[in-house]
Copies of this chain bind each other. A is one copy, B any other.
Amino acid sequence: MRALAEQLRLAGLRPTRQRVAIAALLLDGRHRHVTADSLTEEIATLGLQVSCGTVYNTLNQFTDAGLLRRVTVHNNYSLFDTNTEYHHHFYDEKTNELVDIPNNDVILKKLPNPPDGHEIKAVDVVIHIQRK
């Protein structure tokens, strides 16, 4: 728990009870995808108390701090990825199933030159899948 607080401080975030609780759930090394809603449920299940607004704030702050990554596969609600390393996703829009693609499984042969005056910041590949 002390390590988590330190990690938050390093990220420029004061280690409040709420942030430490969420960090304990999301920054444990497991790779998974959560929504504000799924995280809120998980918190409730554990008997913890964090307000809805704080869940949203924390997810956004963790993302800005690079502790989480936002995944964009649809525009119904936000998805957050505990795996912040470079990787891509399979997404089944029928079931909302979102699965990491191992880092070296998709390879881009070449990248196009960005528009004048711009540089490439990130590359997101989403492979839409469906049940056969």
Interface residue ranges, A against B (CB under 8 Å): 72-78, 90, 92, 97, 99, 101-102, 105-112, 114-115, 117-132
Q: Please report the C-alpha to C-alpha distance between residue A65 and residue B121 in the assembled complex, in whole angstroms.
A: 34
Copies in the complex: 2
A interface secondary structure, majority: strand
Q: Determine if B112 and A109 form an interchain contact, defined as CB atoms under 8 angstroms apart.
A: no
Instruction: Choose from B73, B121, B130 the contact partner of A130 (Cβ within 8 Å).
Output: B121
10 CB contacts below 8 A, A to B, read A72-B72, A72-B74, A99-B115, A105-B110, A106-B108, A106-B111, A107-B109, A117-B131, A120-B127, A121-B128
Q: Does the CB pair B123–A125 fall under 8 Å?
A: yes
